[in-house]
Structure 1
Amino acid sequence: MTHAVCPGSFDPPTLGHLDVIGRAAGLFDRVTVAVLVNPDKAGLFAIPERLELLRTTTQQWPNVEVDSFRGLLVDYCREREIGAIVKGLRAVSDFDYELQMAQMNHGMTGVDTLFLPTSPEFSFISSSLVKQIATYGGDVAKLLAQPVSEALTAKLADRSGA
């Protein structure tokens, strides 16, 4: 059985993330979407909220599970016998950093990294840009699954006191 992990912060999960997750689900027997818990970064969505959004938006793929992790991704992979890391690439600039990480991860544990280019219609989407645009009242509904768009709207309304 092949098992891969799609790691990230997913704050919030975008259609670009879901594109990569869905394509990975077609390539592997099992896919774990793993949300990085970074105590040094305050996200817009708390980890439990991100996990729930991911569970809701990935339920169409029965071989996808959602989890979170702290520490090194390679340790997470080793502990769960995950043999591959799947990373989406939006642009060449992503590749420079991700290649370095892939080589380091492989050197440490032998875990391979598979790079999936993001589908062109999602290549410009990032969680950071989505949050920034939404914060200033821009419409990001077409960049997110409906449950994520609704959660983002509610979260920003709560923060502004509306």
Structure 2
Amino acid sequence: MSTEQEAPNVVEPVTAESVAAIFTEENLEHRIEGDVVRSGFVNAAIVVAVDGSTLVFETLWRGMAPKELANHLLLAVNEHNQTRFAPTLRMLEGQGEQLAVSAIRSFDIAHGASFNQLGAFIVNSIEATLQAFNFLENSFPTLVTWKDPHSEH
């Protein structure tokens, strides 16, 4: 049995390995690259990075919008950010004439975190991000160019 499972409330330094342990516990595919854990879903690429005393959870939505939709996309991003606590959505310039949307959350790990605290942050971040991206997909259905292999439609 691992230390995390024996003492889930013991505060320890946060590392990419301790973040990866949460993904393993949740049966989510992932890989470690230095201080970064990468994962994803059909509609999102996920990066969880240890950045000094902060754990950064950032995702990139797979949908890409033409610049002509910038005003509409900005309104949707602002609506989300004003009505939800987290994650914070950001609009970015993507490849060529495309716009991208990312979502970000952070967690102060200056004093470490327990397995349970880390798990709650990561699982909540995934759930909130998927809800945010679902909002975008419902708002901009023409930008959804992928099929969810788990969808029964």
TM over 0.5: no
Q: Which has the higher helix share?
A: 1
Q: Which has the higher strand share?
A: 2
TM-score, with normalisation over the residues of structure 2? Answer: 0.25
Bigger radius of gyration, 1 or 2?
A: 2
TM-score, with normalisation over the residues of structure 1? Answer: 0.24
Structure with higher RCO (Cα < 8 A, 6+ apart): 1
